Amino acid sequence: MILCKPIGQRLTVLFLSLFVFSVVNVSAQDAANGKTLFTSKCAACHNVFKKMTGPALAGLEGRHKWSDHNELLAWINNPAKYMEKDAYTQGLKASFGSVMTGFPEITLKDVGDIVAYINAAEAEQKAGGDKKAGPVVEEDTSSQNALIFGIISLVLGVVALILMQVNSNLKKMSDDSEGIVRPEPVPFYKNKTYIAMASIVFFVFGGYMVAKGAIGLQRQKDYQPEQPIYYSHKVHAGINQISCLYCHGNAWESKHAAIPSVNVCMNCHKAINTYEKGPKLYKENGDEVNGTAEIAKLYQYAGFDPNNPTKWDPSKAKPIEWVKIHNLPDHVYFNHSQHIRAGNVQCQSCHGEITAMDEVKQVTDLSMGWCINCHRQTNVNFNYDSTKGNKFYSIYEKFHNDIRSGKMDSVKVKDIGGLECQKCHY
């Protein structure tokens, strides 16, 4: 039997955990037992530090009459009955919008164990507040390479120029000594050979630049716009292993991969309201990004108050205006479901290593040559000898027969119309 009057909020927690430890003969084992119980029974609705479906449990014993574990037990065993004559828990129902499920199988010892676990977790949190190691930022070496190559070519160019000058001087000297009189050398800008050479170089280089610029019109390779929220695909799809189709489920069913609506973000972010565990995030210019502040931006759009999670009304959410990165001109038809469902193409084949990108950029140029090239090289998954799998291509009887008889070893996309104009332009 534990009877302990609250002395002060902080002191009580400390005292009581000591008290529980000594009186009920609780050892360290029991915090472990408490953890097991907490995880299996309480954790679905309660967190030690965060308000979720139910209140945060840290500092539990400082509230209401919970320092008396018998009161706590009565509440846990039968919340509905306890609430009848108790204003505090009625208030809890009003603020959280629901009543706790009863756990009649919980005993007094279990309550002690769970409280011991909560106190231990709280103490641990206080002790280990600041042990975060910043990850090493990798330097981008490609731009450095360009600089080095540029300098080398410049130096070589200057050396070549000097050597040419030396050469002509030496020639002049040898001519002088041998007594050969040559006409006064023409300055290089009047030399017809030089002018011809320069114009050819100019024509070739200029033509190349013009052609390249014209071809590059409407191509957006490396396009990396700033998004309204710093959303890291690396954190979500990479580290946390969320399937691409969780958010972009439409890619399986429709032409568009679709951008998830705010409620899809909130499926997880109703509970995850801080960014703590992942690596540090940086913008392209090296500025550090505060992940928690970015989540707060999401809450602005969603109209969600993390201090009052049960009061959220999803219908008040406003859409986030993400900037579309991968654009095809209107005269091109592209269908996601056709590629990933029938064609079994991985997202990364066209979008690159999305799971390693913080801010997404377009890695392929999405040009027609790029499409056609893939259609020429990619094998179609025909499944010609099995009943399971993709039956989409069962109408290509001739190919199936040719494969069976050994005339063909594989069917490429081009064989089933992958190069026909009207497949994509109509």
Partner 1 sequence: MKKVLFVTCSLALSVAMISCGGPRKEPGRAYMPDMAYSRAYETYSSTEALSSKGINYTSTPVEGTVARGEMAAYPFKNDSTGYARSAEVKNPLDSASRDMKEAERLYLINCGICHGTKLDGNGPLYASGVFPAAPRNLVGDPLMIAMTEGTMFHSLTYGKNTMGSYASQLSTKQRWMITAYVKEQQAKKTGTAAPAATAAAAPAPAAKDSAVAAPKK
Cα of 51 vs its chain's centroid, Å: 26
Residue found under tokens 């108050």: 305
Exposed, middle or buried, 402 (CB in 10 Å: 0-12/13-18/19+)?
A: middle
Residue type (1 letter), 386: S
Site string for partner 1, 307-336 (x = CB under 8 A): -------x---------x--x-xxx-----
Task: By CB under 8 A, name the one of 107, 191, 261, 410 that touches partner 1.
Answer: 261
- What residues contact 362, with CB distance under 8 A and at least 6 apart? 220, 221, 222, 223, 224, 325, 326
The footprint of partner 1 on this chain (CB under 8 A) covers a number of residues equal to 64
Per residue, what are the HEC states of 45-82?
CCCCCCCCCCCCCCCHHHCCCCCCHHHHHHHHHCHHHH
Task: By CB under 8 A, name the one of 36, 191, 218, 377 that touches partner 1.
Answer: 218
For residue 41 the two structure tokens come to: 């029974």
Return the SS3 of 412.
strand
Task: By CB under 8 A, name the one of 133, 181, 217, 421 that touches partner 1.
Answer: 217
Task: By CB under 8 A, name the one of 4, 229, 242, 357 that touches partner 1.
Answer: 242
Residues 152-181 that bind partner 1 (CB under 8 A): 153-154, 157-158, 161
Q: 134 or 319: whose CB is closer to partner 1? A: 319
**Is residue 345 near partner 1 by the rule CB under 8 A?**
no
| Rg over CA atoms, the chain | 36
Q: 31 or 48: whose CB is closer to partner 1? A: 48
Do 7 and 1 meet the contact criterion of CB atoms below 8 Å apart? no
CB of 342 to partner 1, least distance (A): 15
**Is residue 93 near partner 1 by the rule CB under 8 A?**
no
**Piece of 8-16, 196-204, 250-258, 398-406 that binds partner 1 (CB under 8 A):** 250-258
Tell me the HSE value of 117 on the side-chain side, using a 13 A CA sphere: 22
Residues that bind partner 1 (CB under 8 A): 39-40, 43-45, 47, 49-50, 52-53, 143, 146-147, 150-151, 153-154, 157-158, 161, 214, 216-220, 222-226, 239-243, 245-246, 249, 255-256, 258-259, 261, 263-264, 266-268, 270-272, 277-278, 284-285, 314, 324, 327, 329-331, 359, 361
